[in-house]
Amino acid sequence: MPHPTLPSPARRQLLAAASLTTAAVATAAVATGAAAPALAATAQAGKQAPGAGKAALVTGSSRGIGAATVRRLAQDGYAVTVNYLRSRDLAERVAADIRAAGGRAIVVQADVSDPAAVRRLFDATEKAHGGVDVVVSNAGIMRLAPFGDMSDTDFDEMMAVNVKGSFNVLREAARRVRDHGRIIALSSSITRMRTPTYGPYAASKGAQDLYASVLAKELAGRMVSVNAIAPGVVNTPLFTDGKTPEQIAGFAQRTPHRRLGEPEDIANTIAALCATDGWWVSGQTVFANGGIV
Ligand SMILES: NC(=O)c1ccc[n+]([C@@H]2O[C@H](COP(=O)([O-])OP(=O)(O)OC[C@H]3O[C@@H](n4cnc5c(N)ncnc54)[C@H](OP(=O)(O)O)[C@@H]3O)[C@@H](O)[C@H]2O)c1
């Protein structure tokens, strides 16, 4: 009797053939030197869009990193679910743009800190798209204060969304993402930068690293890759609100490229992990931060 979580012999053969093909292309590219880019481009041209026939759900995708991610995944062919808490108009605009470009998108309001709402979010996704292949647990909030000044309310709200909310999303993803899927949780490079006032927020983001590394192992045998993405300083209200232009410029100067990250920089990294060739990266925290740490 085959182990229920291991690939069948037939599937293992298919996987072995697929990795041989990839290896053969890589070897040929190295061998031909200057011709390599052309070969890679040809191989690329023959590929299907990575999201063709698949569905992606991105929490907190009315704006910021989530909106850029859902737009990018739609460009890659995924049918997408745009989720928001309060910004209905922004979420509807993201979906309208995707549909205008020929994509498929639904909009679902759900507070990720509410487990029942998260179940409804997944139900709506499965009903509209026939299943779910990619889940990005992106919704998050940030409250900053030195330890001595942090209020119980700010601490509790942040943990409810970032720690419990992401757990609610990842639990549902673990139950529902189809084989060969991807699950990604938004961490932060603050887990390494450790800037004053960021203590509880950094702890809530460190939880994402642990969630991803453990869940990757729990889903062994289903070809589902699970990772955390750790952006650095990204040009969204979450980062810029409450900071002076000088403080923002100071953070930008700390990056080797002397600029903040843009939401699209993070969306592109997420898309790379979701692409067929990205699947071997699993259980990791990927620091997409332009080199700030
Ligand atoms: N920006 C950065 O520099 C940075 C760096 C590292 C990591 N991150 C992480 O990246 C993620 C996205 O950040 P961002 O900068 O794009 O933030 P943002 O621009 O403030 O957007 C936050 C998104 O999350 C949604 N949201 C908030 N609370 C929610 C809840 N309880 N349920 C469902 N959705 C909720 C918001 O929906 P509404 O619009 O409806 O409120 C919005 O769509 C966060 O997890 C953040 O910690 C950001």
Query: Has residue 46 been placed in a domain?
Result: no
Cα(40)–Cα(132) distance, rounded to whole angstroms? 30
Mutate to test the pocket of ligand 1, among 89, 141, 285 (most ligand atoms within 8 A of CB): 141
Question: Which residues 6+ apart lie within 8 Å of 74 measured at CB?
Answer: 51, 56, 80, 98, 101, 103, 104, 105
Q: Are the CB atoms for 91 and 62 separated by under 8 Å?
A: yes
As a whole number, mean pLDDT of residues 82-102 equals 98
Query: Has residue 242 been placed in a domain?
Result: yes
Q: Is the pLDDT score of 28 beyond 80?
A: no
Cα(119)–Cα(272) distance, rounded to whole angstroms? 27
Cα angle: 166, vertex 168, 171; to 5 degrees: 105
- Kind plus residue range of the DSSP H or E element containing 287: strand 285-288
Residues with CB under 6 Å of ligand 1 are: 59-66, 83-87, 90, 111-113, 138-142, 161, 165, 186, 188, 231, 233-234, 236-239
Q: Are the CB atoms for 236 and 260 separated by under 8 Å?
A: no
Q: Is the pLDDT score of 39 beyond 50?
A: no
Residue 227 φ then ψ, to 5°: -140, 160
Catalytic residue numbers read 201
Query: Has residue 164 been placed in a domain?
Result: yes
Per-residue pLDDT at 47: 72
- Kind plus residue range of the DSSP H or E element containing 286: strand 285-288
Q: Are the CB atoms for 126 and 79 separated by under 8 Å?
A: no
Tell the residue nearest (CA) to atom 47 of ligand 1. Answer: 140
Per-residue pLDDT at 45: 55
- Kind plus residue range of the DSSP H or E element containing 185: strand 182-186
Q: Are the CB atoms for 82 and 55 separated by under 8 Å?
A: no
Predicted structure pTM score: 0.87
- The residue ranking higher by pLDDT, 176 or 21, is 176
Q: Are the CB atoms for 95 and 84 separated by under 8 Å?
A: no
Q: Show the beta-strand stretches assigned E in 20-148.
A: 55-58, 79-84, 105-109, 134-137
Mutate to test the pocket of ligand 1, among 65, 142, 251 (most ligand atoms within 8 A of CB): 65
The SS3 call for residue 85 is: coil
Query: Has residue 45 been placed in a domain?
Result: no
Instruction: Give the pLDDT confidence of 260-287 residue by residue, as tens digits.
Output: 999 999 999 999 999 999 999 999 999 9
Closest ligand 1 atom number to CA of residue 190: 6
Per-residue pLDDT at 207: 99
Residue 156 φ then ψ, to 5°: -65, -40
Mutate to test the pocket of ligand 1, among 61, 80, 84 (most ligand atoms within 8 A of CB): 84
State which residues form the domain around 196. Answer: 52-288
Beta-bridge mates of residue 134? 56, 182
Query: Has residue 25 been placed in a domain?
Result: no
Query: Has residue 68 been placed in a domain?
Result: yes
Cα(236)–Cα(218) distance, rounded to whole angstroms? 33
Tell the residue nearest (CA) to atom 7 of ligand 1. Answer: 188
Tell me, in angstroms, the distance from the centre of ligand 1 to residue 26's CA.
38
Closest ligand 1 atom number to CA of residue 266: 10
Query: Has residue 4 been placed in a domain?
Result: no
Cα–Cα nearest to 158, from 238, 244, 62: 238
Q: Is the pLDDT score of 140 beyond 80?
A: yes
Q: Read off the CATH number of the domain in which 266 is found.
A: 3.40.50.720
Query: Has residue 35 been placed in a domain?
Result: no
- The residue ranking higher by pLDDT, 39 or 44, is 44
The SS3 call for residue 130 is: coil
Tell me, in angstroms, the distance from the centre of ligand 1 to residue 46's CA.
36
Domain count, the chain: 1
Cα(60)–Cα(207) distance, rounded to whole angstroms? 18
Instruction: Give the pLDDT confidence of 184-211 residue by residue, as tens digits.
Output: 999 999 999 999 999 999 999 999 999 9
